[in-house]
Structure 1
């Protein structure tokens, strides 16, 4: 058991695509806006700067019409293996949590692991109970898989 086990949520999903292709779906806002978020949600981006220290400021729209402000700062980008971010409702949110996405090759597939670590157990429990964070994480990774497998995501072939 890690020292963060009572403050974390871990969700995994296998995608029928290589890690480079799955990783690419995180690097371009055109892709993110088509799959990011739980089932029934849409995403509107205010600003997007994919680089270490860059930020993604966006609004998630729930199926019930509720709007959820979101903000991400990219902390680590290691293509095509890993992305680490700070994720909150707004810049410098004291309740922001750390999200790490790892992209592990499994044959010609990718196992993506999403690990969220919250500042406190109370915030982790609130994310699970009030916001359905485990189901939401599973649905988000499922939407990513469907987006890639459906062929709506295209990676340019090397010349």
Structure 2
């Protein structure tokens, strides 16, 4: 199995959730598992745009990342292709709901053996990522000045 799917209800509108994805300062605050921070070098938030950044672990180790935004539909969906190892495509879909927004997070790895070997890390990391998104959107965090 090479696909990881997570769903989260957020008490915010799809436009509020999308705003936390398109603003690089806000995205840098919530992207990644607990304890990680980010340093963005290139952030071209448009279809075909590049996203080059380092994720910095709690121990200070840097993890270079290279991605391309395959498609972006405002307030609805962002599709990201991770172009360095490990290769995966992440689709984040925002669905309006009575409570606010249902976030669908689907990560599909090119290498099923890698995905299975890393499942014990990837499953909780994706939940932590959604925890951080929820905190950014729902707990009153605002963009940096």
TM-score of the superposed pair, with normalisation by structure 2: 0.92
Distance (whole Å) between structure 2 residues aligned to residue 34 and residue 126 of structure 1: 28
Counterpart in the other structure of 1:56: 51
- How do 1:35-46 residues align onto structure 2 when only pairs under 5 Å count? 35-46=30-41
Structure 1 stretches lacking a partner, 5+ long: 1-5, 155-159
1:65 deviation in Å? 2.1
Report the Cα distance in structure 1 between the residues aligned to 2:57 and 2:63, rounded to whole angstroms: 8
Picking from 118, 135, 144, the partner of 1:146 is: 135
Moved over 4 A (4+): none
Give, in angstroms, the shift of residue 71 of structure 1: 1.5
Q: Which has the larger radius of gyration?
A: 1
- Partner secondary structure for residue 52 of structure 1: coil
Q: How many residues align?
A: 143
CA contact (8 A) 2:80 2:91 kept: yes
Tell me what 1:97 maps to: 88
Q: Which of residues 82, 103, 126 in structure 2 aligns to 1:137?
A: 126
What residue in structure 1 maps to residue 101 of structure 2? 110
Q: Distance in 2 between matches of 1:43 and 1:77?
A: 21
Please report the RMSD computed on the Cα atoms of aligned residues, expressed in angstroms. Answer: 1.4
d(CA) in 2 for partners of 1:33 and 1:110? Answer: 21
In structure 2, stretches of 5+ residues that fail to align are none
2:71 to 56, 72, 76: 76
